[in-house]
Structure 1
Amino acid sequence: MSETEALREAVIPELPNYYRGKVRENYDLPDGRRIIIASDRLSAFDRAIACIPYKGQVLTQTARFWFENTADICPNHVLEYPDPNVVVGQRLEILPVEIVVRGYLAGTTGTSVLTMYKQGQREIYGIRFPDGLRDNEALPEAIITPTSKAFDGGHDEPLSPQEIVGGGLLSQEQWDTVSAHALALFARGQAMARERGLILADTKYEFGTDGEGRILLADEIHTPDSSRYWFAQSYPERFAKGEKPESFDKDFVRNWVAARCDPYNEPIPEIPDELIAQTSQVYIRAFETITGTAFAPPPAGEPPLERIRRNLARYF
């Protein structure tokens, strides 16, 4: 499959209440179900910069693997999978707090504990950090670093549990529930990743409430896009040398673009097919390593959108 055959759009006029996200297309059915179609768009620099063949299927099927392997810990929104790129779930009221769980002092964004720690902060997310920690060092125990969920293009802001409950974002009972679920999900994820030779360093979760107020896990779980995975075998030596841990390097395209233009203000140059293919192979490798199963691309010959339309016809 080439980029031109990848799933760039998934606009299906017969389905109601269309909403387009950066990567996913969403349709809300009148009966309270939501159809979520994962496109192959690669989002970076606040826009879609390329299409990576099979990316949408990898994300959907990786999340499926984890939803099925964690349903005993926390209920989730999944109802069925009518297509490799599609999940049908319960429509939820998404809670306004994004739950990030971290097992290591890592990250590059302004809300990462490593960034704040290197700026000299020691009281972060309501947690006291000791002096002397090194980049990518294992924390004594997994911690939750919640942020306000940015809607409509806003920026995430760090929050403490006191601010979450005191500010009325979540009730104490809701906070207790999502934090317990998040730590248990992360512990399961780390244990299963370890069996595959991986370190699950950190991840993010989204939770929502159904019509009865029950808290369910939504969106995705432990995918290569929502989580930081490192290779366990090379981690000790790289950490000892102060080197960046080895990971699934999905940033071929992002790095190539950033080296050639100001991607926030200038047109994106035409991206070589070789880089697109490399990135696609990284996503497939990530799926196979994380899940321990072989990737099964759909039969060739039918464009992805035609296949998805056929598989979703009963919802029209």
Structure 2
Amino acid sequence: MSNTITKTDFNFTGQTHVYKGKVRDVYSLENDLLVMVASDRLSAFDVVMPKGIPYKGQILNQIATQMMRDTEDLVPNWLIATPDPNVSIGHKCVPFKVEMVIRGYLSGHAAREYKAGKRTLCGVSMPDGMKENDKFPEPIITPATKAEMGDHDEDISREDILSRGIVSEEDYQVLEKYTRQLFQRGTEIAAKRGLILVDTKYEFGKTADGTIVLIDEIHTPDSSRYFYADGYQQRQDAGEPQKQLSKEFVRQWLISHGFQGKEGQVLPEMSDDYIETVSKRYQELYEQITGLAFAIPIAIGTETQNIHSRIQNNVENWLKANH
């Protein structure tokens, strides 16, 4: 899989700092600019897999870019430009230390907690008598604290966020409002594509002038779960699993191989054939979510070095033309 980008080591003009995340690497530049490079790394259960997934970074970046454009009339965001398929450039922000998770359906983590007998998640009640993948009466917000140094994200209630001073009450009200507005718009966009937006997470930050903006990614298969709308109710009535578009298929593969990111568990080996199927699934996700045909960038070649050169050149050309 030589056509993947799993490590970056760029030195852009005016660069002041680098932050390496689980999937994205963020380069701080002068003039309060950020260059965010979406790598092909795959993270599940807060663990980064040893091998990258071809084109995954491009797919996530391009979905997020389109969704930022489709929601900027509702909520301001950090994005300025996407000079390369794997790159977004935007305003530097101070991120809030919480992820705003919103769930329209009892799926994933919420379903696992529910199955374990819990009826409260992040201080929010979940009704009795629900089946996995049932729709909640109203979407619920179940925040998580941001992972530090590779630790797992942790569920946290609104009350704890406020009492611990993680976010001020005034700002948190804005985060909740924006989260609901974005989820509603995402639900409408998904419906036009024959999809159901099941759950997602949003991250926010503050710009130098104090504006709260949407940052990072939005409505991608890494941050969101989608079901196919066609046949959803029939599958629920028959007690069958939902056909879904998300990273959940990777999580389920890992679970079936005895791995959930817990201490002492051994990460299973992903064969090249399996990685190829994951790449194809991500391409399918892209086309389904955006309604566009997936296009492999021209003249990448097969070597990682060529992708690095392309990114370096595209970012430098943008910086030259705009600063």
Q: Normalising by structure 2, what TM-score?
A: 0.88
Q: Which residue of 2 aligns with 1:103?
A: 104
Note if 1:18 corresponds to 2:18.
yes
Q: Give 5+ residue unaligned stretches, structure 2.
A: none
* Identical-residue share of aligned pairs (%): 41
1:312 to 303, 307, 315: 315
For 1:188 and 1:260, locate their aligned partners in 2 and report how far apart those are by CA, in whole Å: 37
> How far apart are the structure 2 equivalents of 1:210 and 1:132?
44
The amino acid that maps onto 1:227 is S
Match in the other structure for 1:283: 282
- 1:228 alignment partner, SS class: strand
Say whether the 8 Å CA contact 2:222–2:246 is kept in structure 1: no
- Output the amino acid matched with 2:72: A
Equivalent position of 1:142 in the other structure: 139
| Whole-angstrom CA distance in 2 between matches of 1:274 and 1:168 | 48
Aligned partner of 2:94 in structure 1 is 93
Calculate the TM-score normalised by the size of structure 1.
0.90
Conservation of the 8 A alpha-carbon contact between 1:43 and 1:50 = no
Is 1:168 the equivalent of 2:169? no
Q: Which residue of 1 is the match for residue 220 of structure 2? A: 223
Contact 1:253 1:275 in 2 (8 A): no
- TM-fit CA distance, 1:138: 0.4
**Gap change, CA 1:216 and 1:252, over 3 Å in 2:** closer
Q: Secondary structure at the match of 1:64?
A: helix
Residue 58 of structure 2 is aligned to residue 57 of structure 1? yes
Aligned to 2:38: 38
Aligned residues: 310
* Counterpart position of 2:3: 5
SS at match of 1:237: helix
Matches within 5 A, 1:124-273: 124-248=121-245, 250=247, 271-273=270-272
Tell me if the contact between 1:11 and 1:25 (Cα under 8 Å) persists in the aligned partners: no
Q: Give, in angstroms, the shift of residue 255 of structure 1.
A: 5.9
Partner of 1:78: 79
Task: Verify the 8 A CA contact 2:123 2:158 in the aligned structure 1.
Answer: yes
Matched residue of 1:28: which SS? Answer: strand
Unaligned runs of 5+ in 1: none
Are 2:246 and 2:285, in contact at CA under 8 Å, matched by a contact in 1? no
Task: From the superposition, tell whether residues 53 and 88 of structure 1 become closer, same or farther in structure 2 (CA, over 3 Å).
Answer: same
Alpha-carbon distance in structure 2 between the residues aligned to 1:97 and 1:266: 28
**Matched residue SS, 1:51:** coil
Separation in structure 2 between the aligned mates of residue 145 and residue 90 of structure 1, nearest angstrom:
27
Inter-partner Cα distance in structure 2 for 1:77 and 1:153: 25
